[in-house]
A and B are shown apart, each in its own frame.
Chain A
């Protein structure tokens, strides 16, 4: 079974600085999708960024970018110019392209604190 590991339960960053959240996953598949979701205190789950495994180029969305290392099965999220509104739980998620469902497998999350 596929698993997703987020080794950092908590991280903190100073406002305007850069922070990287780590994520590794275990799979025997060659093609799959990876996602980062943000959950602020409002409890809403918000998609931050997505990556297709067969694409070499790292995805970027404004201040958010990923470092996708397929051989290492690593999918880290970099947040540049951190803002107070970035404070949230961040979840890494994996979705296979084949198989019986479109379900996502989530990591346990990293709580990000942004210090003013």
Chain B
């Protein structure tokens, strides 16, 4: 089934550790995104990529980095995790910009930083 796969589903991480959240899509979508979801704050954009080889900063990029070496993969790295990065992380993709290119979401990664 075509879609977005995120791994892991959940993770408990000690503060200061490095962590990479994985995201893979098989829809050949150009654009990919990382959002974090926090209670009462909705979804906030961390980083995005319009196409392979390019990335951009979203609303809350500090403490996170991304890469887009190919069309399918868009990993999110926390170089040194802090408790405020406890959240649910969603990867998403879209074919383009139009209304007929809505975002498709993965099932999320619940990350707890202790």
Chain A residues within 8 Å of B, Cβ to Cβ = 6, 9, 33, 35, 42-45, 47, 50-52, 91, 95, 97, 100-109
Contacts and interface: CB of A to CB of B under 8 A. Distances in A.
A107 B40 CA distance: 10
Contacts, number: 57
B17 to A, nearest CB: 24
Contact of A45 (B44, B58, B100, B105): B105
Interface of B: 31, 33, 35, 40-45, 48, 50, 56, 58, 88, 90, 92, 94, 96-103, 105, 107-108
A51 B100 CA distance: 10
Contacts of A95: 97
A32 to B, nearest CB: 9
Nearest to A54: B99
A103 B99 contact: no
B41 A108 contact: yes
Contacts of A102: 31, 48, 50, 94, 96-97, 101
B99 A104 contact: no
A35 B92 CA distance: 15
Contacts of A97: 97-98
Contact of B42 (A42, A101, A103, A108): A108
Contact of A43 (B41, B44, B107): B107
A102 B41 CA distance: 21
Nearest to A45: B105
21 contacts: A6-B42, A33-B98, A42-B107, A43-B88, A43-B107, A47-B102, A47-B103, A51-B99, A52-B99, A91-B42, A91-B43, A95-B97, A102-B31, A102-B101, A103-B33, A104-B45, A106-B42, A106-B43, A106-B44, A108-B40, A109-B42
